Amino acid sequence: MDAWMKKLGSSEEAFTLLSSVFANVSDAILVVDKEGMIVTANPALEKMSGWATEELIGKRHICELCLGMATCREEATCADCFFKQEQMPSFEMRLKTKDGRDYPVAASSAQLPEIDGGKMVLILRDMSDQQRAEKERYQHKLTNYVIQAQEEERKRISRELHDGVGQALYSILVGLNVVGQSKLSEPLRQHVADIQQMTAKAMEEVKRMALELRPSALDDLGLLPALRSLIKRFEKSFGLLIDLHVQGDRRRYPAVVETALYRIVQEAMTNAAKYAQADKLGIVFEDRDKELVVTVVDDGIGFDVERAQKKGTGLGLFGMKERAQLLGGTVDIRSAPGEGTTVIVRIPLAKEETEDGHSRPDRR
């Protein structure tokens, strides 16, 4: 640095350079005297604090801008803290603005003892974007953990319903069949038949609940077979006409990708069947090698997407987008009253985006 400065030649050239740096850097730079009064400041401080430069220089004390640090004492001013040490390489503080707000800044300071009885230079960098990004990363991690825990719990309950309650009901039904074949009076025989019918309905309901919680096809066979099974159930339950069109390879994907896409499509289909009064659904599944694109189109009554999100009634929409974002993907929802709804999901794929690192054919 010294050698480079020497190449500038005259002190006038060096001054011009330093003045340009002072005026144009994005970090706020201010100089305070030993009493803590601001003696000079660059435009970046004006932008960060909301105070005009002429309102700062010679008129504001550093304590009016500094909310304090963890090391501050009540009886000490900010100037006391800064001048205690010749240099404070890096620390965090909160900057108070003219309108009363405050936000975090990363700061560093150094004494300038040779200048006019001693001065202190402070450099401040806005950390609000960094903290916001860190908060978003934490929220994404937490959301991902909650979703994974939810899926594991769904899988466990589904298995218990199928293997526990389902098998118990089946055993009861077998026993009732044996009883029904015995010599019984007609009223008792009819009563046994009624119980058989109720037990069979209970078995179907348990099976439906287990499938809703976690379809075994999703784990055993893959995404496409699970979607086909879901489509059949929706066609039977809601009378919908659903067309599934698949483009590209039919292969297995990581469990998190398959689960996310299954839940997103399931939510889109549920919205179409229960709320949109749709008669037809079209689903296009595209494996584009580097990304998966799934499009769900219904002919329902449509809705105002922005209004639903503002009113907080679009929690299902938020959940769809959150699942995709956790995988670096997006969900684009297009709708308007009377025009149906289109949901476009994009999930990026890495080159080795399969459970064992290799593409495998999907069992159809």
Global confidence as pTM = 0.61
Q: Are residues 356 and 242 in the same domain?
A: yes
Same domain for 100 and 163, yes or no, is: no
Q: Which residues are annotated as a binding site?
A: 63, 66, 78, 81
Confirm if 240 and 280 have CB atoms less than 8 A apart.
yes
Rounded CA separation 187/178 (Å): 17
Residue ranges making up the domain that contains 131: 127-214
What residue numbers does the annotated binding site for [4Fe-4S] cluster cover?
63, 66, 78, 81
What's the CATH number where 56 sits?
A: 3.30.450.20
Which stretches of the chain score pLDDT less than 70?
1-11, 14, 68-90, 113-117, 311-315, 351-364
Segment 34-69, tens digit of pLDDT: 888 888 889 989 888 888 988 888 888 888 887 765
Q: Which of 162, 183, 214 is the last residue of a domain?
A: 214
For position 64, what pLDDT does the model report?
83
Are residues 245 and 357 located together in one domain of the fold? yes
Q: Are residues 232 and 360 in the same domain?
A: yes
Kind of pairing, strands 241-247 and 280-287? parallel
- The answer to whether 313 and 257 are in contact (CB under 8 A) is no
- In this structure, the answer to whether residues 261 and 306 fall within a common structural domain is yes
Tell me, what's the pLDDT at 11? 65
Q: Which of 253, 214, 211 is nearest to 232 (CA)?
A: 211
- The verdict on 238 and 326 lying in the same domain is yes
Q: How many other CB atoms are there within 10 angstroms of residue 347's CB atom?
A: 22
| Domain final residue, candidates 87, 110, 126 | 126
d(CA 123, CA 354): 48
Domain co-membership, 9 together with 112: yes
Looking at the fold, whether 64 and 153 belong to one and the same domain comes out as no
- Based on the domain organization, do 96 and 146 belong to the same domain? no
CA-to-CA distance for 29 and 67, rounded, in angstroms? 17
Looking at 190, 214, 238, the residue that finishes a domain is: 214
Judge if 110 and 171 occupy the same domain.
no
pLDDT at 104: 83
Distances in whole angstroms, Cα of residue 215 to Cα of each of 31, 210, 251, 263? 66, 7, 18, 11
How many domains, the chain?
3
Q: Are residues 230 and 356 in the same domain?
A: yes
Contact predicate 111/86, CB 8 Å: yes
Same structural domain for residues 51 and 74?
yes
Q: What does the pLDDT read at residue 1?
A: 39
Which pLDDT does position 115 carry in this prediction? 66
pLDDT in tens, 295-334: 999 999 999 888 887 766 666 888 899 899 989 999 999 9
DSSP string, 44-91: HHHHHH---HHHHTTT-BGGGTB---TT--TTS-HHHHHHHSSEEEEE
CA neighbor of 229 nearest in space, from 246, 248, 208, 206: 208
Helix (H, G, I), strand (E, B) or coil at 111: strand
